[in-house]
Amino acid sequence: MTRARAETFGAWVRVDDRTLLAVDRATARRFGVDGGGRWQHPAPSSIVDETTRPLEVHVAVTARCPVACSGCYLDAHPDGEHRAFEEIAATLDDIAARGVFTVAFGGGEPLSHPELPRIAAHARARGLLPVVTTSGVGLTAERARELSSFAQVNVSHDGLGAQYRDTRGFDGARVAERALATLVEAGVPVGVNVVLTRALLGGDGAGLLALVDRVIELGAREVQLLRYKPQGRAASLEYLARRLTPAQVAQLPALISTLVSRTSVRIDCALVPLLSFSSVGRTSSAMVGRASSAVVGRTSSAIVADLVALGVMGCEAGRALGAVDVHGRDAPCSFLPGMSPADVSAFAAPEPCASCPVRAVCRGGCRVVSRHLQGDPFVPDPECPRVQEARR
């Protein structure tokens, strides 16, 4: 069923499991939406800054994980507690009433929660689109069939063979690959989450390309690239050795361009500043990869327009994104437990972000990285090449 929520510009409308649209007021009316007080004033010229309520909420269902990766952002353990079904159901009722579209379940290892299929069914019954991310540990063919309520299951896979072990501290590549094949076999839509680390990209990105080829072969229909973030057990000195080098950051657009020719690629909110470097004050071939002739030579305003059209809105913590931790507490995003969504959403990044051509789709980069490296979440992302250049 179509689900719609009025906004100042018109509405967000989810037309099917794979398509969430921002539409203007005339189109919203065709979907039967009445904007009421939201449409009392003239429509804004852009959707940027107009979505102040979550479209997506990430809900932790458990603090338990049998493998306890070295970089776990939640600090999950094998003896962590599950959150009770009734409490999770109450959270889902609440976020559905707030007009949220998608609920992404995480943990810990969500598959370890015995009632995960029931939780997904409850989300569906409330009009929410349930998705989940798993390491694949504990996934059997029977369990995979029980996951049919999910719009998509993403399996985390951070490198082939030893590369996975080096990144996560446990030998999980085969587990992830088996899980992928099992889910595909069960007819569940599957994507893959890949955390970009120094070890995975190496000197030429070959590790990432090989990994993507492997997961395509196994039936993954999209790859989500994630920035490595210093939260939980990853907020350690190790972070400095695992994050991408400046040379690897410079290589990213071309690498993504290559990946896109092989499969569907998503980037996460935190990657935006790392991809924007060459658009900012130097050349306009940024965000898009030097290898992509379709986009080279475009202005930063055109690039921003494109990103907005694709729903890329940078750091959405506390705005289009919300999170509920395993204790039921609200957070602006999963990586910022204990912080107030209102405080984070109110952050207006100072220079060099304030005058940055891509500020509207970046918002000053990742608060998690700023907090870890600068001791203050409310400063520009110190790993952004433009921020680094401004400091020189």
Partner 1 sequence: MDDRPPVQLPPGVLAVRAGPGANCSSIGSVVDLLFGTAVLASVVYAAVAASLADSTVDETSGDPEAEAPGKAPEAPEKGP
Query: What is the full DSSP assignment across 119-160?
Result: HHHHHHHTT-EEEEEE--TT--HHHHHTTTT-SEEEEE---S
β pairing state of 330-331 and 321-324: antiparallel
- State yes or no: residue 316 binds partner 1 (CB under 8 A): yes
Window 216-255: contact mask with ligand SF4 (x via CB under 6 A): -------------x--------------------------
Which residues have CB under 8 Å from 268's CB, separation 6+?
224, 225, 226, 227
d(CA 136, CA 176): 5
- State yes or no: residue 179 binds partner 1 (CB under 8 A): no
Window 77-116: contact mask with partner 1 (x via CB under 8 A): --------------x--xxxxxxx-x-xxxx--x------
Query: Which amino acid makes up residue 60?
Result: A
**Among the residue ranges 8-16, 32-40, 75-83, 381-389, the one whose residues contact ligand SF4 (CB under 6 A):** 381-389
| Sole binder of partner 1 in the list 33, 196, 326, 353 (CB under 8 A) | 33
State the binding partner of 113 from partner 1, ligand SF4, none, CB within 5 to 8 A by kind.
Answer: none
Identify the three-state secondary structure at position 272.
helix
Comparing CB distances to partner 1, the nearer of 246 and 297 is: 297
Restricting to residues 214-243, name those near partner 1 by CB under 8 A: 222, 224, 226-227, 229
**Among the residue ranges 63-71, 80-88, 335-343, 374-382, the one whose residues contact partner 1 (CB under 8 A):** 335-343
Cis, peptide link before residue 318, omega less than 30° from 0: no
Q: How far is the CB of 382 from ligand SF4 (least distance, A)?
A: 9
Measuring CA to CA, how many Å separate 188 from each of 139, 152, 185, 322, 354? 13, 7, 8, 26, 43
| Sole binder of partner 1 in the list 268, 281, 290, 373 (CB under 8 A) | 268
d(CA 367, CA 317): 9
Instruction: Pull the structure tokens for residue 346.
Output: 């109110």
**Among the residue ranges 79-87, 166-174, 281-289, 365-373, the one whose residues contact ligand SF4 (CB under 6 A):** 365-373
d(CA 366, CA 335): 10
Binding site for ligand SF4 (CB under 6 A): 229, 269-270, 273, 276, 280, 315-317, 321, 333, 335-336, 349, 352-353, 356, 358-359, 362, 364-368, 380-381, 384, 386-387
